[in-house]
Every structure is written in C-alpha cells, then in structure tokens.
Amino acid sequence: MATRTTPTERQKRLGAELRKMRLAAGSTTEYAAGLLGIDRTRLSNMESGIRPFSPERVRTLACNYACTDKGYVKALVAMADGKERGWWERHRGTLPSGLLDIAELEWHATRVRTAQVMHAPGLLQTEEYARAVFAAVLPPLTRLEVELRVAHRMERQQVFERPDPLPYIAYVHEAALRMPYGGAEATRQQLGHLGAQSERENIEVRVIPTSKGGFPGAGHAVLFADGAVPRLDTVQLDSAHGPEFTHAEAQLTKYRAHLDWMDVAAMTPAASRDLIQQIAHEL
C-alpha cells in the first residue's frame, strides 16, 4: 500500500488507536509486525498514519491484542475501510489540510456539538457573513484565498442535506450574535438564517445570555464530534495558526464537562430564537 506524505487526522487517529491498543495489551512492535508479516519500521509508519491499515489487519491485531470491545473494533474497521474519496479532497492542494480535516471529522461524526463566543457557528453561516469572518484575519488573506475558504465552508453544510442529516447542537454566546461581521445588514441576514436553521429537526441553537457571566472555556471556540463509540470522540479547537485536534481522554472529559455546563446554562431553543430575532431587530 502506498506511503502517505500528509496523512489526514482520521488516518492518524486510526493508527494512534491501534498503537494504544497494542500498548494496553503489552505487545511489542516486533510481535505486532510479525503478526502482519511486515517489519517493525513499516508497522511504526502504519501507527503514525503514514501507511494505511486494511480492515483485515485491524481485525487481526484487535484479536491478538485481546480487545473485547466489539463496537470499538467495528468502528476501527470502518475507519480502515474508507475507500470513497470525500468531497473535501477536491480542495486538497488549495486549502490548508486542517480545514479539510474538519470537514472529514464532521462527515463521519454521529453528532456534533459546538460552542462559539465570537461569531455564528461555521456550519450555520451565510456566504456573506463567512466572507466577512475570513476577511478579518491577520495577516490578511488574498481575495482568492477568502473565496476558496468561503466555498469550502458552504460545502461543509452538505452534512445537513444528506439522507442521514448530522445531529447538530450549537451553543452560541449572546456576544457572538451582536458582532456585526460584514455590517448590520449582513449580520441581520445571518441572524435570520440562524433562527431559520434552528427550526430544523436535527439542528438545535442554544444562546448563552450575557447575564450568565463567566463560563468555562470562555474565549475558546470548540467543536466536539461524537465518534461511532465514545472512545473515538474528537475535540477540535480554533487557534491563530489553524485548527487543533485532540482526543486525549483528559481533554475529552474536560470539554464534555464544558458543553454539559452550557447545556444547563443556555436558553431553550424557543427562547434562543426569540433573542436572536430581537437582536436582529436592534441592528
């Protein structure tokens, strides 16, 4: 199988999970490589995502590592069996790989929860609003780079149009709703779109009012993607140099707690829509 020069986050995750499984079983790289009939260097490359695992090899390793979690193994086999080229691959070579990794993460998630404190959630943005968000970065992007990112962000919304629409919960701080990206009219249209999208069966928008004061994770935009099993959950965080991904158990536990707090503190979906409409009228 071909060597990858830039494995995706999903490919690296599969390798990391199989390495974790091997270490939990107390198996050496020599032992695991022998099971597959390869050398230890190739196994190391597979565990780092540089070389792919086949579904058969995932099953062989899981069996010999004595992993009894059938749901977990099934999910890993499905990750190894991903032969279809995702729509996001059309953007490889023209956009940073981290942006493509976000699209792939959302596509394979069983549910996504996000917390936004500075602007509307990316999957619920209008084109004009998204263009203003991308135009506000430093150093400034060229017009072409902005348009490429806007097109990619709009395509990400396909997760809501497929036969099995992505379940999506957005916790949005009131301050984010009042930030006039693109000016008052663009923001009014964005707020109207946000309210309309929140009426869909699979989308829930919950506003955290400023009256709640401080809150955990203040200042951080968070995307929490549920995997096929909880052990495969992933957190994506925004940073000035691009998206960061983590699946360390301590971090997953922390961000689950953050989002659980927001679920309690946020307004109901109906009350959130009322506040969104009120803010739009005030602009």
Domains, the chain, in order of start with CATH, read 9-80 (1.10.260.40), 87-282 (3.30.870)
Mean pLDDT, the chain, as a whole number? 95
As a 3-state breakdown, the chain gives helix, strand, coil percent values, each rounded to 5, of 55, 10, 35
**Are the C-beta atoms of 224 and 81 separated by less than 8 Å?**
no
At 12-61, the pLDDT tens digits run: 999 999 999 999 999 999 999 999 999 999 999 999 999 999 999 999 99
At 95-114, the pLDDT tens digits run: 999 999 999 999 999 999 99
Q: Is pLDDT above 80 for 217?
A: no
Beta sheet of 168-173, edge-to-edge order: 203-208, 168-173, 111-116, 222-226, 234-237, 244-246
User: How many residues are present in the chain?
Assistant: 283
Nearest-angstrom CA–CA distance, 24 and 67: 9
Nearest-angstrom CA–CA distance, 102 and 85: 15
Q: Mean pLDDT over residues 196-223, rounded?
A: 91
Nearest-angstrom CA–CA distance, 102 and 10: 10
What was the pLDDT predicted at 218?
64
Q: Is pLDDT above 60 for 3?
A: no
Q: Which two tokens stand for residue 102?
A: 């976000």
Nearest-angstrom CA–CA distance, 208 and 138: 28
Q: How far apart are the first and last CA of the chain?
A: 57
Question: How would you class 25 by CB atoms within 10 Å of its CB: exposed for 0-12, middle for 13-18, buried for 19 or more?
Answer: middle
**Are the C-beta atoms of 112 and 170 separated by less than 8 Å?**
no
What was the pLDDT predicted at 84?
78
Q: Mean pLDDT over residues 181-209, rounded?
A: 97
